[in-house]
Structure 1
Amino acid sequence: MNEVGYPYTFSCYLGSTSVNFESIQIKMGSNFTGIEKKELGSISEDNIEKSNLIFEQGCALVFSQCTSGKIMIMLYPYKSELHSRCEKDIMLHQQLLPEQLTDALVLRSLQKLLFYARVSSINGIARGYSFKDRLELMKLNYLNIRSRNKCINAFLKLTNEWWKVVISILSAIIVALLV
């Protein structure tokens, strides 16, 4: 816990300062997971026990401006050597014009970061997910532009396969009715 009672800390970094290729990263601090990994190693005749504390890190909200001037907003989960979410990142927005990046959009993105930090952290998982958390997580994954494109492509491929089945069935019915 920090001095205001919130379990996570965050800081802001300016990634690149090049004109039309800027990035701002709001990173959540490293968290101790509460897990200590013990390894038994032997040096000559002595058995030495080493312990490693497991930390999670990498949770961030990134505003990145590409060379065309358009802005992309990415959300990254906490990761540790023992746990990580299945999605590598969540693309919240892409191809935003600078004038579309309003205070309200930045505030909503920060709220999503705080929520995602909690649900992707081992400490947050240990406290459990509420029904509302699960719905919000499903919404985030649905709004993820990359996963939405994958779903659309999978649906189109599935539709193509179903059309083959439907046409085969209709052909069989027509042949059966004609004979």
Structure 2
Amino acid sequence: MKSLEKYAKKMASDWDRVLVRRVMWIDMEERIRRIFRDVEGSPYANEFGALFILNGIHEDAKEFYITQRLNQIQIGCGTRFLGLNAIDIEDEKPKKKVRFEKGAALWFSQSPTGGVTVFMSPYSSDVVTMTEDNIIIGMYKEPSRLTEREIYKIFSKFFKYLSITSALHPHTSLDYVWRLWLIYFDARSKRFGTLFNSLDRVIIFGGAFVTVCAFIIQALKS
């Protein structure tokens, strides 16, 4: 049977290709860690909270060889205090609570095929929370596509995202449009959105764009 041989060879080829891509993770992770060391050493790094980097896999999973696990690496932000206090009621008693934001992260996750998906999540706090839990900002066929230049671009996008999702940011219309743009091009939105949802996103984006234009025109007149 010709189809049996044809697709058996294709599956064998896929297997070989996947193994190569999974091994590529080693060099990609080293590039990410090297760039993070530069970031961590900057005097501006503390503005984002206590930045840290870690493997997003269980300690026991590290015993597996690199090709036998789904790898992940994450850059996270620690607690960032907002300089605000509040009174919360717990067990019918008032209790002082310090306001802070946390939860922002950038992570690189490997798929079974060896490809890499890049996510980022915003700051969240009791004061301000974004509508999105996370956004996919890149999907790469193999780790080698994540060159140093590409990783720098991803970090730059992440730091901008951190700055505009902080509770202390003025949250302008332009910031909102930029976030909406990222959400619109999230791979999950494009791949699984129905025609109605696609039109809905276009309308929302168009409305936001018109709002920004009106804001700029009004600012120029004043």
TM-score, length-scaled by structure 2: 0.57
Paired AA for residue 88 in structure 2: E
TM-aligned CA distance change 1:40 to 1:152, over 3 Å: closer
Paired AA for residue 11 in structure 1: F
Deviation of the 1:28 alpha carbon: 1.9
Deviation of the 1:119 alpha carbon: 1.0
Deviates more, 1:30-39 or 1:143-152: 143-152
1:116 aligns with 2:166: no
TM-aligned CA distance change 1:15 to 1:41, over 3 Å: closer
Deviation of the 1:135 alpha carbon: 4.2
1:33/1:54 contact within 8 Å kept: yes
1:52 aligns with 2:97: yes
Matches within 5 A, 1:123-162: 123-124=168-169, 127-129=170-172, 131=174, 133-149=175-191, 151-154=193-196
1:27 aligns with 2:76: yes
TM-aligned CA distance change 1:104 to 1:135, over 3 Å: farther
2:127/2:167 contact within 8 Å kept: no
* Whole-angstrom distance in 2 between the partners of 1:156 and 1:39: 41
How well do the aligned residues superpose, as a CA RMSD in angstroms?
Answer: 2.8
Deviation of the 1:156 alpha carbon: 7.3
Tell me which of the two structures has the higher relative contact order, counting C-alpha pairs closer than 8 angstroms and 6 or more residues apart: 2
Structure-1 residue corresponding to 2:145: 100
Structure-2 residue corresponding to 1:65: 110
Deviation of the 1:148 alpha carbon: 3.1
TM-aligned CA distance change 1:80 to 1:42, over 3 Å: closer
Deviation of the 1:151 alpha carbon: 4.6
1:4 aligns with 2:43: yes
Unaligned runs of 5+ in 2: 1-41, 201-222
Structure-2 residue corresponding to 1:14: 55
Deviates more, 1:73-82 or 1:92-101: 92-101
Paired AA for residue 120 in structure 1: T
Paired AA for residue 43 in structure 2: V
CA deviation vs aligned residue, 1:96-148 (integer Å, no higher than 9, x gap): 31121111221111011101111111012xx34373x3443233222212233
- Greater Rg over alpha carbons, structure: 1
2:53/2:75 contact within 8 Å kept: yes
Unaligned runs of 5+ in 1: 159-179
Identity %: 23
Paired AA for residue 55 in structure 2: L
Paired AA for residue 102 in structure 2: Q
* Whole-angstrom distance in 1 between the partners of 2:129 and 2:88: 22
Paired AA for residue 154 in structure 2: S
Higher strand residue share? 1
TM-aligned CA distance change 1:100 to 1:32, over 3 Å: same
Deviation of the 1:70 alpha carbon: 1.2
The count of aligned residue pairs is 149
